[in-house]
Structure 1
Amino acid sequence: MAVLELPRAYPSTADEVREFTDWLVGAEPPTDDAGRLELIQTLEILKSAAAAVQVRATAEYAASVANPRKAAKEIARARHESPHQAARLVGVARCLAEEMPHTLAALTKGETSEFRSSVMVRETALLTRENRALVDSELGPRLAGLGNAAVAREAKKIGFRLEPGLAYKRAQAAQVERRVTIRPAPDCMTVLTAVLPVAEGVAVYAALTRAADTAAIDPEDGRGKGQVMADTLRERVLGSSEPVPVEVQLVITDTAMTGHSQEPAHVNGFGPIPAPLARQLADPPDEHATRWIRRLWAAPETGQLIQMESRNRIFPAGLRKFVIARDQYCVTPWCGAPIRQIDHVVAAAAGGRTCADNAQGLCQACNLAKET
Structure 2
Amino acid sequence: MFDLVGSGVDLSDEAALVTGITELERAKSRAAALQARLTAQLATVRHDAEAAAGLPAARRGRGLAAEVALARYDSPHSGNRHLGFAQALINEMPHTLAALESGALSEWRATLLVRESACLDVADRRALDAEMCADVAGLAGRGNKRIAAEAKAIAYRLDPHAVVDRAVRAEKDRRVSIRPAPDNMVYLSALLPMVKGVSVYAALRREADSCGDGRSRGQVMADTLIERITGRPAEVPEPIAVSLVLSDDTLTGGTGPALIPGVGPVPATIARGLITNAVTDPASRATLRNLYARPGSGALVAMQSRSRLFPKALAMLIGFRDQQCRTPYCDAEIRHTDHIRPAADDGPTSYPNGDGLCEACNYNKQAPRWRVRVTTTGTGRHTTVTTTPTGHSYLSTAPPILPGSPPDGPMEAALRNLLRKPAAA
User: CA 1:23/1:74 → structure 2, altered by over 3 Å: closer, same or farther?
Assistant: farther
Alignment of 1:128-147 (within 5 A): 128-140=121-133, 141=135, 142-147=138-143
Alignment partners' CA distance in 1, 2:269 and 2:167: 46
Partner residue, 1:40: 21
Alpha-carbon shift at residue 293 of structure 1 (Å) = 5.1
Work out whether 1:240 is the aligned partner of 2:232: yes
* Alignment partner of 2:190 out of 194, 202, 218: 194
Matched position secondary structure for 1:249: coil
Aligned to 1:292: 286
Q: Tell me: CA distance 1:348–1:286, structure 2 relative to 1, closer, same or farther (3 Å).
A: closer
> Which of 149, 165, 169 is the matching residue for 2:165?
169
Aligned match of 1:91 in 63, 84, 109? 84
Distance 1:320 1:104, change over 3 A: same
2:254 aligned partner: 260
1:105-120 matches, within 5 Å, as 105-120=98-113
1:246/1:292 contact within 8 Å kept:
no
Offset at residue 347 of structure 1 (A): 2.8
Distance in structure 1 (CA, Å) of the matches to 2:326 and 2:157: 45
- Assess if the C-alpha contact under 8 Å between 1:309 and 1:355 holds in 2: no
With normalisation by structure 1, the TM-score equals 0.84
What is the Cα deviation at residue 211 of structure 1?
1.4
Q: CA deviation at 1:364?
A: 2.1
SS at match of 1:68: coil
C-alpha contact 1:59 1:93 (8 A) present in aligned 2: yes
Distance 1:225 1:303, change over 3 A: same
Summarize deviations over 1:6-43 as a string: whole Å, max 9, x none: xxxxxxxxxxxxxxx77789646532222221111111
**TM-score scaled by length of structure 2:** 0.74
Please give the alpha-carbon distance, in whole angstroms, between the structure 2 residues aligned to 1:183 and 1:23: 36
CA–CA distance in structure 2, aligned partners of residues 316 and 96 of structure 1: 47
Q: For 1:356, what is the secondary structure of its paired residue? A: coil
Change beyond 3 A, Cα 1:356–1:131: same
Secondary structure of the corresponding residue to residue 361 of structure 1: strand
Alignment CA distance shift 1:24-1:331 (3 Å)? farther
Q: Which moved more, 1:98-107 or 1:202-211?
A: 202-211
CA–CA separation in structure 1 for the residues paired with 2:166 and 2:289:
46
Deviation, 1:234, is 1.3
Contact 2:278 2:286 in 1 (8 A): no
Structure 1 distance, partners of 2:8, 2:304, is: 57
- Kept in 1, the 8 Å contact 2:36–2:87? The answer is yes
More helix by share: 1
- Give 5+ residue unaligned stretches, structure 1: 1-20
Contact 1:249 1:296 in 2 (8 A): no
Q: Does 1:52 align with 2:33?
A: yes
| Residue 354 of structure 2 is aligned to residue 359 of structure 1 | yes
Q: Determine helix, strand or coil for the equivalent of 2:189.
A: strand
Stretch moving more, 99-108 or 287-296: 287-296
What amino acid maps onto 2:221 in structure 1?
Answer: M
Q: Give the secondary-structure state (helix, strand or coil) at the position aligned to 2:228.
A: helix
Paired with 1:323 and 1:161, the residues of 2 have a C-alpha distance of: 52
Deviation of 1:47 after TM superposition, in Å, equals: 0.8
Which residue of structure 1 lines up, in the alignment, with residue 387 of structure 2? Answer: none
The 8 Å contact of residues 289 and 303 in structure 2, kept in 1 or not, is answered as no
Q: Secondary structure at the match of 1:333?
A: coil
Q: For the structure 1 residues 121 and 167, does the alpha-carbon distance in structure 2 shift closer, same or farther, using more than 3 Å as the test?
A: same
Q: 1:284-323 maps to which residues of 2 (within 5 A)?
A: 284=277, 287-288=280-281, 290=284, 292=286, 294-295=288-289, 297=291, 299=293, 301-307=296-302, 316-323=311-318
Residue 158 (structure 1) shift: 0.8
In the superposition, relative to structure 1, how do residues 114 and 303 fare at CA in structure 2: closer, same or farther (>3 Å)?
A: same
> Which letter does structure 2 place at the counterpart of 1:226?
G
Supply the distance in 2 between the matched residues of 1:191 and 1:95 (Cα, whole angstroms).
32
Task: Please state how far the C-alpha of 1:92 moved relative to its aligned partner.
Answer: 0.4
Structure 1 position 294, deviation (Å): 5.0
Across the aligned residues of Structure 1 and Structure 2, the Cα RMSD in angstroms comes to 2.7
2:10 to 12, 18, 30: 30
Aligned pair partner of 1:153 in 149, 163, 169: 149
CA contact (8 A) 1:212 1:229 kept: yes
The question of 1:126 aligning with 2:122 is answered no
The worse-fitting range, judged by mean Cα deviation, of 300-309 and 346-355 is 300-309
d(CA) in 2 for partners of 1:185 and 1:133? Answer: 40
Find the residue that maps to 1:136 and give its secondary structure.
helix
1:223 aligns with 2:218: no
Report the CA distance shift for 1:293/1:143 in structure 2 as closer, same or farther (over 3 A): farther
**Any unmatched runs of 5+ in structure 2?**
48-59, 368-425
Please state how far the C-alpha of 1:193 moved relative to its aligned partner: 2.0
Partner of 2:385: none
Whole-angstrom CA distance in 1 between matches of 2:31 and 2:232? 54
